[in-house]
Amino acid sequence: MDLIHINNVLPSFFSASEVSGSEIWGRDVCFRKGEYHLVSAVSGAGKSSLLSYIFGEREDYTGNIIFDDIPLNSMKSADFSKLRQHKIGFVFQGLRLFSELTAFENIAIKNRLTDYKTNDEILSMLECAGLSEKHNEKAARLSFGQQQRVAIIRALCQPFDFLLMDEPFSHLDDDNIKTMANMVSHELKSRQAGLVLCSLGIEYPFDYCRKWKL
């Protein structure tokens, strides 16, 4: 997949006048593979909604989202499920880890869908993230910052053309932000993938081609 086209999309909970200053809502916007985009927004502006729309989890909007030349709303559920597995990675703001599974198990259960990484590669990523001693710890016993690192690694353990990230580093210190951003950058470059990162205004260390105000 080479292109995500956001065409005149407006959430149902906003009126056109409420988003008149937005560079995305109600506009014609394209995210291309290989490009890095930062979407900055104040709380309540709909950044999580935007990513949920692209990921096909929510439909409470008008307008169109188009992948290459295929409208999202015309895709069958089975086809879109396959697209999520192979074309779109997502780091959710709420993380969505299984609390009863270990850090390694949370990553492995996702990785089994495509066998994109080996177990040794996953363990190496955990070590790089400073979590080698936590890989057998249940997610419920990890700090939120540790959980964030696990969720980022999990999202990287699948093929994708685009990576969506929703406040992915909010509970990390500067050193851990640098470490995880470098890991993400390596994966993006190796796949020539695109990045759409939503933030409350923090400009995390990526070489953005465009910065948008939501």
Q: What is the DSSP string of 55-120?
A: TTS---EEEEEEETTEEGGGS-HHHHHHHHHHTEEEE-TT----TTSBHHHHHHHHHTTTT-S-HH
Give the C-alpha distances (Å, rounded to integers) separating 148 from 13, 62, 141, 180.
29, 32, 13, 10
Confidence of residue 208 (pLDDT cuts 50, 70, 90): very high
> The whole model's pTM is what?
0.96
pLDDT at position 202: 87
Q: Which domain holds residue 70?
A: 3-213
Q: What is the pLDDT of residue 29?
A: 98
Q: Per-residue confidence at 37, pLDDT binned at 50, 70, 90? A: very high
pLDDT at 88 exceeding the cut of 90: yes
Residue of 48, 212, 137 whose CA lies nearest to 149: 137
pLDDT over 90 (residue 57):
yes
Residue 117, token pair as written in the block = 């990484």
The answer to whether the beta carbons of residues 98 and 139 sit under 8 Å apart is yes
Q: What percent of the chain has pLDDT over 70?
A: 100
CATH number where 200 lies: 3.40.50.300
Number of domains in the chain: 1
Starting from the edge strand earliest in sequence, which strands make up the sheet with 28-32, in order? 28-32, 3-11, 61-67, 70-71
Would you say 10 and 64 are in contact if contact means Cβ atoms under 8 Å apart?
no
Confidence of residue 201 (pLDDT cuts 50, 70, 90): confident
Read off the pLDDT of each residue in 28-42 and give the average, rounded to a whole number. Answer: 97
Helices 119-128, 174-191: axis angle to 10 degrees equals 140
